[in-house]
């Protein structure tokens, strides 16, 4: 029996929401929970609404054998589009610890990403070429828009991740910093085709958990925008 359940990926976040009383902290956690569920459901367009994310987010990803800096909504959206089109927006976690402060949410967890064999091969190449060449290759791949799912060559990439998500004064995401401290300890397992979760399946499971985000000003300041 497959041991993972995508509806439980955010369970540590939901537990912290239930215990959090400070309105600003509670709002950030709700935005964090909504973002992760939208991403895993393949509803990435909704991540870029003006109440969810700033216009020029910056992502630093040093994980899964890559070292990337993605700047701007177009490039970041292309990453989410590629993941959704290839069923790589599926994440599971174990032993997650989540913390919230006035301007960020942080997480440490054992994470599992559903990745394609093609992505694993590209990531290995990126790990060995000079960074400026790797950056060009990634941007070219993302800009191409030519993404195809391969349900018969999918893997789970398991490792420990540290995440830091900063937010602005209006509770909008400024970007993501994703760090895999010890990639040599990552475990990659080929998935049985029956255990590959498609975006359609993920969306059906997660849609009931995705609620509209309340107004930041009303929730935090008690005022209408």
Q: Quick check: 144 and 137 in contact, CB under 8 A?
A: no
pTM for this predicted structure:
0.91
For position 208, what pLDDT does the model report?
A: 97
Cα 173 to Cα 194: distance, rounded to the nearest angstrom? 35
For position 65, what pLDDT does the model report?
A: 81
Domains of the chain: 6-221 (3.10.450.50)
Residues of the chain with pLDDT under 70: 125-139, 141-152, 223-225
Furthest-apart CA pair in the chain: how many Å?
52
Cα 44 to Cα 41: distance, rounded to the nearest angstrom? 8
Give 4-18 pLDDT, tens digit per residue: 999 999 999 999 999
Classify residue 212 as exposed, middle or buried by CB count within 10 Å of its CB (0-12, 13-18, 19+): exposed
């Amino acid at each position: 029996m497959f041991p993972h359940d995508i509806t439980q990926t955010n369970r540590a976040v939901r537990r912290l929401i239930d215990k959090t009383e400070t309105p600003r902290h509670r709002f950030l956690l709700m935005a964090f929970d909504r973002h992760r569920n939208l991403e895993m459901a393949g509803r990435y367009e909704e991540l870029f609404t003006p109440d969810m994310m700033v216009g020029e987010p910056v992502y630093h990803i040093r994980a899964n054998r890559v070292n990337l800096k993605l700047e701007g909504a177009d490039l970041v959206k292309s990453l989410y589009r590629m993941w959704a089109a290839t069923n790589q927006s599926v994440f599971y976690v174990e032993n997650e610890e989540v913390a919230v402060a006035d301007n960020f949410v942080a997480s440490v967890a054992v994470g599992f990403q559903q990745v394609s064999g093609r992505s694993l091969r590209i990531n290995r190449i990126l790990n060995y070429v000079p960074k400026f060449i790797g950056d060009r290759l990634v941007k070219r791949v993302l800009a191409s828009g030519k993404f195809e799912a391969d349900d018969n060559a999918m893997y789970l990439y398991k490792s420990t991740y540290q995440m830091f998500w900063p937010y602005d004064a209006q509770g909008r995401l400024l970007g993501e910093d994703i760090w895999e401290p010890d990639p040599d300890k990552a475990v990659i397992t080929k998935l049985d085709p029956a255990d590959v979760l498609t975006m359609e399946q993920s969306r059906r499971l997660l849609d009931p958990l995705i609620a509209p985000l309340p107004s930041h000003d009303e929730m935090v300041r008690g005022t209408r925008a």
